Structure 1
């Protein structure tokens, strides 16, 4: 199939002729983050003539605002529908397209609001004490389904929205009885759990559908509006997974479990004829390194079918970016009763694919870029796709399923980006010591002069089961703008290169993954004579922070390092991380009491005496994924042995600091990184 790819703009250091005058584009700066709009979550109307989406900005008070926009599907410019110091998210058309419902914090907590598509002010629909969640219209338009926190000790009718003053009451002691009592996204868990709530559109009433003391996640509605599908874990905290349940809404029937508690499933959607359910998921064949696959379940019999048995790649979007990362992936979407479209990631790309259930996968769109979201209008075979690439934070395009033609519909940030020298990466392939092929990218420094020598910074992604690739990455552009060559790679453990590659890091942290990174560095230094091998820096976050710590304990070739939200001690990580009690076994290969020596052998802290590289330690105080005690231990031991180290703590920041943290702290973080490397390199 011939695909007419969009023109990929290449913003380089070259001058641009503008009306006979030479215009020199400037380098990317930290402050540019505060001038970019982030488009996401497109939703096509049922008639197929328009779509809504959200645009996120950082306002003058350095807070996030998210607003709703609309645009004709084939003509017209985007039009902003909501305004103000608010966050309006998840806009969804009613089945008759006469209104949209969305989630907003206008009243102080996230509640459901509605707006007429013909204009008018937004109207608040829910007034729940603990807020509402992402809305899902029933096909008949009578109800809206969502999940929300519910207090089991208080009558639901009494759990009404409080004033700001009432919400600022003193915190009570928290009694903990569960193994899983915290998460990086939600903080410390109390006795509340997410229940499914049904909002009656006509009567404006909310009714809980579930009451079991587990979190429920909405999957969607049956086409006849007579049942819903959801996921939950009823097996206890020692079981890491999500099962699928069908809940009829008639005659008080109990939910029916479709899956056998052998894996984890998400991104659920019901086929148009109501006979099948599609989802992403896996059965933990390689623990947390298992690639997602595409499944269907027969609604009546529960028969399970794998649609991607020979598709050795990750299903879904696993691209790492500090701008478009994990943005509203819709999961599998039915075209008709037999065909499904979905995203998949490989070789640094995330594209769109189609299956008809016979094992054959058809490529709809795959290019050197990042499809981070999409919406389908099945009747017209048209997709709205959000695409980012290294020189574009993200825009929407119409993509035809019939002929693959694609047309750009939005031009967010174009006027601003036209002033900037955005570097396009050069792809590098390296052969590892054991013969595996490795992939990475090199950004040239701003205003590159081949006669000069430049310092280089090696960036290491987190996960480790994630993927660098062809997406916009503000931090990398900032470093290139400061005059650094930037090398970023996908060592073994990364997604995008097949199941054996993803699995290869487990039980070997600091082994061949470390060798992969050093092979990339050696190859790059041999290939690019403009890089000064006496001015090398290294940085990374999460797993990338662990690897930065490991590198400075095992080599002195780097002149400076910055470790972020890192792991230094697997022994303590086991008990303090929100995922430590299972992730440690998955990745290192042992539980704490089974083989503490193995955990200690893979801990950078064990080798702290060997550090000679000046090290900057950056960590969020609210990080529950890699808690700040990891940084505290690391810094304390290094300073005790008189190593050159500086520790910067970021209040109010969790593990998502670099992507979704408070904007002022995102700025401060980048300033610390740049200043450290500028000083030493």
Structure 2
């Protein structure tokens, strides 16, 4: 009896402890970034019985995001790993007979046989493959891969003695696209399509020429031809958005143009019956934001027609229905991912409205999905309190299948997120935003406010998980994030209100958001702070050049001088054509009018700048210009440089941790209590 009583008391004590823990606020800690997990690239099999997906986790020892393949039944049962955690595996693709799964692991193609559980590496590739696809008969796998092109130096220097040690030779560059963010200075070569036998062998190159070929191949049902999209025009880099659809005969490698519009035609996909091709595109009007529409045409390129002209949303991805009657489409609406069934004839039906969660650092929209022949949809599910989990939808029934962040949610209190709409002070636009509250929020108290501004500028935030913002809220700050004019997912007109006019009235939209939150009564107006990355860094520096209401600012990888930016950024051939009405030397006054550096003489706000040293999208030279200008003016400033980091600062978990930690460090210096 005594043992029974002791057991009851032990259980009661445990329950009481759990209850007390649940009722206590436990804010996130910076190194909780290593506890994050998320689902990406869910691939449901044709019968809708099983789904394979990529399980992503953070490795504290290597400071890297790691990936492994897992599989489970679509009813939520029998979840198990397919690959080992010490290897990085991605891009799982079901074979046509559903008995094998091809995937990429550590830069090579592997195939796993489900009946035996055995996997084998079938390739020996010199470069990592992308866009893995099976042929209809299951005998081949197609992929794209960088292919070097020999470019001998135009000059040979004489006089080098045998065994002499000279400096490294000069590097000769004469191409327009010579470096890229995240890749650095590019080797000479192009991306081409290949195929390899599914049971192993040598890779066969399918395309050639001095053109880049990307995206998946779409196979003809008899396996004799493939369709692809590429920009194979002369001087292709001078027309950076243009592309056409081509047909490639595999036997003789003949390439024929199927459709070549004035603008892009991308992601061609044959219908299951082989009669139609669906693709994405738009007529190029040289606007800063142009939303891709879904088109279909006959397989010979005739009878082109748009299916989503009435939607006014950018189509991100699509997949054919197995019965050829329509397509499943993915788009963002008001900051949140949607999946809809778009028939060839008839009304569109939205099926999923919580797609997203794969951008776990900041609350960007987006997501991934796949559909079985019977209509089962596997997708990444968005939530404000965790990164993407795996979910299934079928016949209006929805179910979340994974709970990989349960341990983090048990021990930490996640900040609550509230949706808001408010009026623009300059016109009749309605502006959308969200308020993230610190854990344990009490509306009777006063809190400091952080305005966090998204980049792009043609992107969108949404009600999805954002570790960086959550870490700031965990330090006792209310965080406001909004979608000012220029943001996507509200229609082309709204996005292009800043066309050749950025930054401008998007600044007013941001200030109106701050005013709307202050009006609620729980914000200390002497403790307002502003931060943002990339385009958000632009607007941060623009803001402090136009107001002194903020106690401190933190500009993350900003652009502060459009003239120097377009002559240093990796995508300069795009920016000069689509973001500006002319070249900088022809209209310098326009470039300077919209450059934050032009207003640096007005700045009195203490400002921290934070940028990756290997950022080629918004090069660190922009940060250095602004830092030196503020130093010359005697404004309190600091520069934080991240070694080896590109524009995607959160790629290493420790940098994901460092960014909000430095922002909070800077803001804390200028809190009232710390200044007194």
TM-score (norm 2): 0.89
Alignment partners' CA distance in 1, 2:28 and 2:615: 29
Contact between 1:68 and 1:88, CA under 8 Å: does it hold in 2?
Answer: yes
1:368 Cα offset (Å): 9.2
The alpha-carbon deviation at position 98 of structure 1 amounts to 2.4
Deviation of 1:17 (Å): 8.3
3-state SS of 2:583 partner:
coil
Cα offset, 1:215, TM superposition = 0.9
The match for 1:229 among 218, 227, 237 is 227
Alignment partners' CA distance in 1, 2:248 and 2:638:
58
Query: Equivalent residue for 2:493?
Result: 500
Within 2, Cα distance between the matches of 1:645 and 1:90? 44
Deviation at 1:359, TM superposition (A): 6.1
- 1:414 matched to which residue of 2? 406
**1:87 and 2:82 correspond:** no
Residue 567 of structure 1 and its aligned partner are, at CA, apart by 0.2
Residues 60-84 of structure 1, C-alpha deviations (whole Å, 9 max, x = no match): 3122211010101114142112124
The SS at the match of 2:54 is strand
Displacement of 1:261? 4.3
Alpha-carbon distance in structure 1 between the residues aligned to 2:586 and 2:345: 45
Return the alpha-carbon distance in structure 2 between the equivalents of residues 369 and 188 of structure 1. Answer: 32
- Select the residue among 595, 601, 607 that pairs with 2:599: 607
Aligned to 1:622: 614
Determine if contact 1:231/1:242 at 8 Å carries over to the other structure. Answer: no
> Does residue 536 of the first structure (1) align with residue 536 of the second (2)?
no
Deviation at 1:518, TM superposition (A): 1.1
Equivalent-residue separation in structure 2 for 1:414 and 1:36 (angstroms)? 10
Tell me the equivalent position of 1:140: 137
1:179 aligns with 2:176: yes
2-structure distance, mates of 1:367, 1:84: 29
* Counterpart for residue 558 of structure 1: 550
Q: How do residues 113-132 of structure 1 correspond to structure 2 at under 5 angstroms?
A: 113-132=110-129
CA drift of 1:536 comes to: 0.5
TM-superposition CA deviations, 1:321-372 (whole Å, max 9, x none) = xxxxxxxxx5344342121001111112211111112363211122597671
Task: Supply the distance in 2 between the matched residues of 1:625 and 1:60 (Cα, whole angstroms).
Answer: 28
Deviations 1:88-108 (A, max 9, x none): 110112222222111111xxx
Q: 1:250 Cα deviation (Å)?
A: 4.3
Shift of 1:19: 6.6
Confirm or deny that 1:457 pairs with 2:454.
no
Moved more, 249-258 or 96-105: 249-258
Where do 1:222-301 residues align within 5 Å? 222-235=220-233, 236-285=236-285, 287-301=287-301
Q: Which residue of 2 aligns with 1:13?
A: none
Answer yes or no: is the 8 Å Cα contact 1:42–1:51 preserved in 2. Answer: yes
Measure the CA separation in 1 of the matches of 2:367 and 2:97. 28
Matched with 1:430 is 422
For residues 574-618 of structure 1, give each alpha carbon's deviation from its aligned partner in whole angstroms, at most 9, with x where no partner exists. Answer: 111012243144224332122011101111112212111111100
1:20, CA displacement in angstroms?
5.5
Structure 1 residues 228 and 446: alpha-carbon distance in aligned structure 2, compared to 1, 3 A threshold: same
Q: Are the structure 2 counterparts of residues 101 and 253 from structure 1 closer, same or farther at C-alpha, using a change threshold of 3 Å?
A: closer
Matched, 1:510 2:503: yes
Q: Secondary structure at 2:567's aligned position in 1? A: helix
**In the alignment, is residue 448 of structure 1 matched against residue 441 of structure 2?**
yes
Q: Distance in 2 between matches of 1:450 and 1:512?
A: 31
CA contact (8 A) 1:147 1:195 kept: yes
Deviation at 1:249, TM superposition (A): 3.1
Q: 1:518 to 1:60 in 2, by over 3 A?
A: closer
Root mean square deviation, CA, Å: 2.1
Contact 1:349 1:368 (C-alpha < 8 Å) held by counterparts: yes
Contact 1:506–1:589 (Cα < 8 Å) also in 2:
no
Q: Relative to 1, partners in 2 of residues 1:242 and 1:254: Cα closer, same or farther, differing over 3 Å?
A: farther
- Any idea what the Cα deviations from partners look like across 1:34-69, whole Å, max 9, x if unmatched? 011111111112343211111111113122211010
Structure 1 distance, partners of 2:584, 2:242, is: 25
Aligned partner of residue 498 in structure 2, secondary structure: coil
Q: Distance in 2 between matches of 1:418 and 1:588?
A: 49
Match of 1:152 among 128, 149, 153: 149
Quote the residue 1:338 is aligned against: 325
Distance 1:186 1:275, change over 3 A: farther
Alpha-carbon distance between aligned partners in 2 of 1:193 and 1:73, rounded to the nearest angstrom: 40
* Aligned-partner SS, 1:363: strand
CA shift, 1:176, in A, is 1.5
**Greater CA drift, 183-192 or 243-252:** 243-252
Distance 1:369 1:666 in 2: 19
Alignment partner of 2:654: what SS?
helix
Over 3 Å counting, the alpha-carbon distance change for 1:123 and 1:599 in structure 2 is same
Q: Secondary structure at the match of 1:418?
A: helix
Q: Matches of 2:191 and 2:211 in 1, distance apart?
A: 7
SS in structure 1 of the partner of residue 472 of structure 2: helix
Aligned pairs for 1:358-377 within 5 A: 358=345, 360-366=347-353, 372-377=367-372
Looking at structure 2, the residues matched to 188 and 202 of structure 1 have their Cα atoms a distance apart, in angstroms, of 35
Q: Match of 2:237, SS?
A: coil
Separation in structure 2 between the aligned mates of residue 664 and residue 141 of structure 1, nearest angstrom: 42
Say which SS state the counterpart of residue 504 (structure 1) adopts: helix
Alignment correspondent of 1:158: none
| Partners of 2:468 and 2:657 within 8 A in 1 | no
**Relative to 1, partners in 2 of residues 1:101 and 1:484: Cα closer, same or farther, differing over 3 Å?**
same
d(CA) in 1 for partners of 2:188, 2:302: 33
Counterpart for residue 188 of structure 1: 185
| 1:50 corresponding residue in structure 2 | 50
Preserved CA contact (<8 Å) 1:394 1:412: no
Larger CA deviation: 463-472 vs 290-299 = 290-299
**In the alignment, is the contact (CA less than 8 A) between 1:388 and 1:395 conserved in 2?**
yes
Residue 562 to residue 584, structure 1, CA distance change in 2 (3 Å):
farther
Contact 2:355 2:368 in 1 (8 A): no
1:480 is matched with 473
Deviating more after overlay: 76-85 vs 487-496? 76-85
Separation in 2, partners of 1:626, 1:228: 38
Contact 1:243–1:258 (CA under 8 A) maintained in structure 2: no
Corresponding residue for 1:306?
A: 306
Partner of 2:670: 680
Aligned to 1:384: 378
Report SS of the residue matched to 1:354.
Answer: strand
Query: What displacement does 1:202 show?
Result: 4.4
Contact 2:355 2:379 in 1 (8 A): no
Whichever of the two has the greater Rg, that structure is 2
Q: What's the CA shift for 1:543?
A: 0.7
Deviations along 1:106-143, one digit per CA (max 9) or x if unpaired, are xxxx1111222134453221112223223111010111
Aligned-partner Cα distance in 2 for 1:590–1:679: 42
